[in-house]
Amino acid sequence: MVVTGRTSGILLHPTSLPGPHGVGDLGDVAARFIDWLGEAQQGLWQILPLGPPGAGDSPYDARSSFAGNPLLIALSPLVEWGLLTADEVPPPLPSDPERADFAGAASVKMPALARAFERFEAAGAGELHAAYEDFWHREGDWLADYALYAALRTAHDGLPWYRWEPALVRREPEALAQWRERLDRDVRFQAFLQFVFDRQWHTLKQRANERGIRIVGDIPIYVSHDSADVWAHQDLFTLDEAGQPTMRAGVPPDYFSATGQLWGNPCYRWDALAATGYRWWIDRFRRVRELVDLVRVDHFRGFAAGWQIPAGEETAINGAWVPGPGLDFFQRLQRELGPVPIIVEDLGVITPDVHELREQLGYPGMRVLQFAFGSGSDNPYLPHNYEPNTVVYTGTHDNDTTLGWFRTCPPHEREHALRYLGTDGHDIVWDLIRLAFMSVANAAVVPLQDVLELGSEARMNVPGTASGNWAWRVREDALTPERAHRLASLTDTYGRAAGAGP
């Protein structure tokens, strides 16, 4: 099992932390959050994908599956590194403390990071340069492609790679060499940003691990069309000669949507991936495992079969299930990397083949309490139907907060929840947290918004909407000792304080 004992944790993406420059970062505030988790006796910190976000600032539409988001870099540590002076750190942005300002963060952080890069290059040697050389030696395979992609995208005014000149779209060696020479400094700057991100992230992760806190990362099964991944590995995706998808990913019509969901990501050519021994996917898992302790695989069902929609369709109705790699991939993954601690996202309408694959692998699935009420006693999301090899959530990043859900859910769901909980609902959020913690699920994870008893204004994402998401941030004064102690009391009462096995 991935989780061999009882544990609990908090779901919070780093961009949702407080911070002086528009978004949360990996500096002092993140360190204090880890200390707060320790005070609350939590053993898990679950995050969303760490990559450079794409359209709509979504971490699930990243420009790379391997790179980190430069906006998460904290500037103050660069003073300690000798790359900035104290007066070169920009003053705090006058932004809303409860909403991330991604554009504002970029406007103040990137010039400061460019200045730090100049000082780094001017130094020419030293401990930082040795660490950088080691980072490049370890990560060069993906870093070279990503740094060139990021520099080219900037040089092309932010246009996606499939709208660059044909020679670059096709990655003709002569064109790549010419542009790499032309953009040499910009490419080095992009690599430097990844080095700084990696160094700061590992410092933070070490702090968490020393306090008995394991970080749960996230791998979305699909990647953005406009990403270094697809540009550098076009043969692994369903693309035509112009780099456009011939088949796009999504999900079929269900009770959430009469027309299904058309995500737009290119689908995988699993036959081409298999011919390489799934090299790109295994390298992707290896990189994520460097950054986190456990891996949540988003849309796990796509490894059994994925819904593919022909290009040109305006909805997901006219798609078809196409088999994925199934057990073969995960067996190869384990042969290459050893046991990988995986949690699978198996929400929604799941067919028997997906259950069979998860059970063969022994990975824990997810249960969400907001899905538990309003139907019969056999609802798999009701805690009396759980098995221990499960991770239970009050809600996920795609759900409303528990308070927002309870205020807006249909009356029959609300009545069922109150009857199941044996409560009048005056403390409904903590009633649901208690229910998760007392369940037999080995792990219980709660979005921080629920610990803070926030309403729909604090929702992280509304699936199917293109704007206004991913921006919620926690106020620094909200992380009080009182809330930590209340969480710690539940953690201790239901035997989760000891944490999970290694």
**Token code pair at residue 157:** 């005014």
Q: How many CA atoms lie within 13 A of 290 on its CB side?
A: 17
**Token code pair at residue 378:** 């056999």
Q: Are 137 and 191 in contact (CB under 8 A)?
A: no
Q: Which of 186, 290, 398, 415 is catalytic?
A: 398
Q: Could you tell me which of 479, 482, 460 has the C-alpha nearest to residue 469?
A: 460
Q: Any idea what the Cα angle at residue 127 is, between residues 75 and 213, rounded to 5°?
A: 60
Q: Could you tell me which of 460, 379, 393 has the C-alpha nearest to residue 44?
A: 393
Give the whole-angstrom CA distance, residue 404 versus residue 184. Answer: 50
Q: Could you tell me which of 131, 124, 89, 133 has the C-alpha nearest to residue 108?
A: 89
Q: What sign does the CA torsion over 392, 390, 249, 268 have?
A: positive
The torsion angles phi and psi of 70, rounded to 5 degrees, stand at: -60, -25
Which residue intervals of 243-400 are DSSP H helices?
A: 270-275, 279-291, 327-337, 352-361
- Please report the beta strands in 221-272, taking only residues with DSSP state E, as ranges in sequence order: 247-251, 261-266
Q: Which of 25, 293, 345, 400 is catalytic?
A: 345
Alpha-carbon distance values, 494 to 342, 366, 487 (Å):
24, 19, 11
400 catalytically annotated: no
**Token code pair at residue 307:** 């819904």
DSSP one-letter code for 58: -
Tell me how crowded residue 185 is: count the other CB atoms within 10 A of its CB.
12
What residues does 46 pair with on adjacent strands? 11, 216
28 catalytically annotated: no
DSSP one-letter code for 391: E
Q: Which of 35, 88, 283, 298 is catalytic?
A: 298
Alpha-carbon distance values, 180 to 364, 405, 471 (Å):
44, 51, 35
What is the DSSP track for 21-47?
TSS--SSHHHHHHHHHHHHTT--EEE-
Which residue type does 150 have? Answer: A
Q: Are 368 and 446 in contact (CB under 8 A)?
A: no
Q: Are 152 and 168 in contact (CB under 8 A)?
A: yes
The torsion angles phi and psi of 220, rounded to 5 degrees, stand at: -70, 135
Spell out the residues 6+ positions from residue 215 whose beta carbon is closer than 8 angstroms to its own: 44, 45, 46, 47, 205, 208, 291, 292, 293, 294
- Please report the beta strands in 222-347, taking only residues with DSSP state E, as ranges in sequence order: 247-251, 261-266, 294-298, 305-310, 320-323, 342-344
Catalytic residues: 298, 345, 398
